[in-house]
């Protein structure tokens, strides 16, 4: 398991964008046309960045369409890998020579 937790997209939004740029959650929400609650929940790590929100954030901050959506996907992948580490370690990768007669295990 990871010793340093993977940062949530909301933490990155807050620490790397909002704080340094002096933008409040309320102002961001108003500028991108969403409820402030949505931004607050993202920042608090209680809500994922959807494609809709990701595209709005990308437009506002002048970034690629995939930046925020990709950040969310990366976060979900890494947290799933941590949560499933023991299970994944027990799964044997498929090899063509492993086929059983009749396709049954």
Quick: pLDDT tens for 39-77.
Answer: 999 999 999 999 999 999 999 999 999 999 999 999 999
CATH of domain 27-76: 1.10.260.40
Quick: pLDDT tens for 13-47.
Answer: 999 999 999 999 999 999 999 999 999 999 999 99
Instruction: Take residue 49 and report the two structure tokens written for it.
Output: 């960045």
- The domain locations on the chain are 27-76
Instruction: For residues 28 and 101, give the distance between their C-alpha atoms in angstroms, rounded to a whole number.
Output: 60
In this prediction, residue 40 carries a pLDDT of: 99
Residue 92, classified by CB atoms within 10 Å of its CB into exposed (0-12), middle (13-18) or buried (19+), is exposed
Name every residue whose Cβ is closer than 8 Å to that of residue 25 and which is 6 or more positions away in sequence. 18, 36, 39, 40, 43
Instruction: Take residue 40 and report the two structure tokens written for it.
Output: 């607050």
Name the strand (E) or helix (H) holding 14: none
Q: Report pTM.
A: 0.82
């Amino acid at each position: 398991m990871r010793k340093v937790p993977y940062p949530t997209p909301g933490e990155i939004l807050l620490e790397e964008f909002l704080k340094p740029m002096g933008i409040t959650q309320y102002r961001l929400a108003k500028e991108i046309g969403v409820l402030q609650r949505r931004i607050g929940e993202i920042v608090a790590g209680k809500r994922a960045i959807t494609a809709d929100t990701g595209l709005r954030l990308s437009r506002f901050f002048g970034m690629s369409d995939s930046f925020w959506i990709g950040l969310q996907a990366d976060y979900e992948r890494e947290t799933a890998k941590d949560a499933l580490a023991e299970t994944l370690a027990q799964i044997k990768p498929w090899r063509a020579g492993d086929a059983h007669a009749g396709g049954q295990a």
